[in-house]
Structure 1
Amino acid sequence: MLLACWQAGTVPGEVFEIVEWDDGLITATDAVRYFAYPRDWAPAEQDLLTGARGRVRDIGCGAGRHAVFLQQAGAEVIGLDPSPGAAEVARVCGVQVVQAAVQDPPAGLGVFEEFLMLTGNTPRAAMESSPWPVGAVVPRTGAVNLGRNTRDAKAFAVQRRRWGRPVSSPEGNPAEP
């Protein structure tokens, strides 16, 4: 999907992401959002990435927009993504990417000061498969987890109500619209 969006010139309305959530809810969003500039990110997303430093592992890096931002800020970033298309696009954008699933990264990736894991599309089963689903990725003592999810809780609650679903945040906490 990301490769198709990239090849289409990242034009809005050309390629859509269809996601079926764990509870059966199906959503469609424009894939161009994965190529948004930092000025267009949600405030929580902007705040999350400000001040990242050292060696950062971008788990589920997708097209690499966060990795590129962090690299421009001086961080050494290595992305991890299972999608061959996403990895290809991220590499074209200048990101060093290891193509692998979050639950099964290759050994020898080294030590990281910070981890970026925005899990909007990570299946709940994958998140629950281990306390820290990064396997062989070893954090340095005192490593910082930059985040789990930046989906806006209020927008998420409104969306769930619209579709007649239980209102809870992506982390399972109540969310008020």
Structure 2
Amino acid sequence: MSTVKERLIEATFHEVFTTGYSAASLSNILNRAEVKKGAMYHYFPSKKDMVLAMIDEKLEQRVEKRWKPVIDADGNLIDVLISIIQDTKGFNLTEGCPLGNLLQESLDQDEDFANILNSILDKWKEIFTKTLQKAKEKNQINKNINIVQCATFLIASIEGAILLSKKSNDNKDFEDCMIQLTNYLNSLRK
């Protein structure tokens, strides 16, 4: 059985992911978590603090769970990256990316949100940078590739493709973008 704090974090994730931070209803969060407001205040002084905790726990975990195993993968790292981006079931293409959604909504509105969201983006970029560095060391990609620029491009491509699919409500946009991203990744090979 989950704790009150865990239920609040999970309910906050679902509410913010489906409605956005600004429209997120504290009442809906409390109802979903089956928690009274007084109990919430025992853990979080405000909705903002609850959302920040949710970002720290849930969104960072999502990025690490999806992408960090690539670094430790056996075999060709480009093949591993391609297999992940081609797995459309692994992405929520109708509601978007929780991280991307919050970045669009909150990054410029609040310094605390900006700091934590940028920190997660930096960790994601670091994962891709380490993956590409390892691919270089394994002689799987060209040595002249700027891996930091490439990592940034990969994140922008994935997030942009998810956004396009969410906007059009059509997986084809994502799939088309991933075909082109696959072509790009294949062009890095040695």
Structure-1-length-normalised TM-score: 0.29
Larger radius of gyration: 2
RCO (CA 8 Å, sep 6+): is it higher in 1 or 2?
A: 2
| Larger proportion of helix | 2
Structure-2-length-normalised TM-score: 0.27
